[in-house]
Amino acid sequence: MKKINIKPDCVFSPQPMYIIGTKNEDGTPNFCIITWIGFSFDKTPHLMMSIGGSKLTKTNILREGKFSAGMITEDILWLADYFGSTRGEEGSKTAVPYGYTLGEQLEVPIIDQCHWTYECNVTRVVKLEGAHLFLAKIENIQIDEAYENMDMKAIDLCRLRPAVYAPYHYFSIGDKIGEMGQWKEHFL
Ligand SMILES: Cc1cc2nc3c(=O)[nH]c(=O)nc-3n(C[C@H](O)[C@H](O)[C@H](O)COP(=O)(O)O)c2cc1C
């Protein structure tokens, strides 16, 4: 295969997306979308998140030290798109209907329609030139009770249906294509 080089102006990195829930100073909730999220493990599971510029979400996290991260699935995509397209600093996000409750372990707002949500406590903040990196310990995971009997070592993404972000567009995932370690079946 012949390769070409392109400038890293706009990084193409297909990613899942999360609704980040935070508490405003007056106790009301605020939600936005963050896609720059990864996970790591240091004795317990952690979430790594990057927030750029000035955002109410960032201000709230720097003050409160906690947030919720709810996986964006296809059924809540347009609610999430609304949260990601409107700025909390310009007023509360009440133009579309939704409900929320506070987390089980942490006082963080969680959208009622979210099927899979992490309650996160910030343990490190790295201030970069134009963004902040947050490392947060996952204190609790709230899932839809419909998934109670799902095999947690073989989670069926086709059932969960997370939406995928590839710059400026949303996609759905396709089919399951195999299991970890099956490489021999494809080469030998
Ligand atoms: C699909 C999508 C993905 C986004 N991903 C990020 C991200 O990874 N990091 C970030 O800082 N902002 C991201 N944003 C932008 C924020 O969600 C947006 O600025 C939002 O208005 C912030 O809300 P707030 O001001 O209430 O905090 C994304 C927006 C959309 C629509």
pLDDT score of 188: 79
Alpha carbon distance 181, 188 (integer Å): 13
Distance of CA 158 to the CA centre of its chain: 18
The atom of ligand 1 lying closest to the CA of 90 is 25
Domain with residue 71: its CATH number is 2.30.110.10
Q: How far is the CA of 68 from the centre of ligand 1 (A)?
A: 15
What's the burial of 19, exposed, middle or buried (CB within 10 Å: 0-12/13-18/19+)? buried
Whether 4 maps to a domain, the answer reads no
Whether 99 maps to a domain, the answer reads yes
Whether 3 maps to a domain, the answer reads no
In sequence order, the 6+-apart residues with CB closer than 8 A to the CB of 18 are 33, 34, 35, 37, 69, 70, 71, 72
Cβ < 6 Å from ligand 1: which residues?
Answer: 17, 30, 32-36, 50-52, 55-57, 81, 84-89, 165
**Consecutive 10-residue runs of the chain (188 residues): their mean pLDDT?**
91 92 98 97 97 97 98 98 98 96 98 98 97 98 95 92 95 94 93
Whether 177 maps to a domain, the answer reads yes
Q: How far is the CA of 153 from the centre of ligand 1 (A)?
A: 31
Three-state SS for 3? Answer: coil
Domain range for 97 is 15-146+154-187
Alpha carbon distance 24, 28 (integer Å): 5
Q: How far is the CA of 152 from the centre of ligand 1 (A)?
A: 29
Q: Total structural domains in the chain?
A: 1
Whether 62 maps to a domain, the answer reads yes
Instruction: Name the residue of 32, 48, 94 whose CB sits within 8 Å of the most ligand 1 atoms, as the mutation to test its pocket.
Output: 32
Instruction: Name the residue of 24, 35, 127, 128 whose CB sits within 8 Å of the most ligand 1 atoms, as the mutation to test its pocket.
Output: 35
pLDDT score of 12: 82
The answer to whether 66 and 140 are in contact (CB under 8 A) is no
Q: Where do we find the tokens 């004795």?
A: 43
Whether 93 maps to a domain, the answer reads yes
The atom of ligand 1 lying closest to the CA of 33 is 17
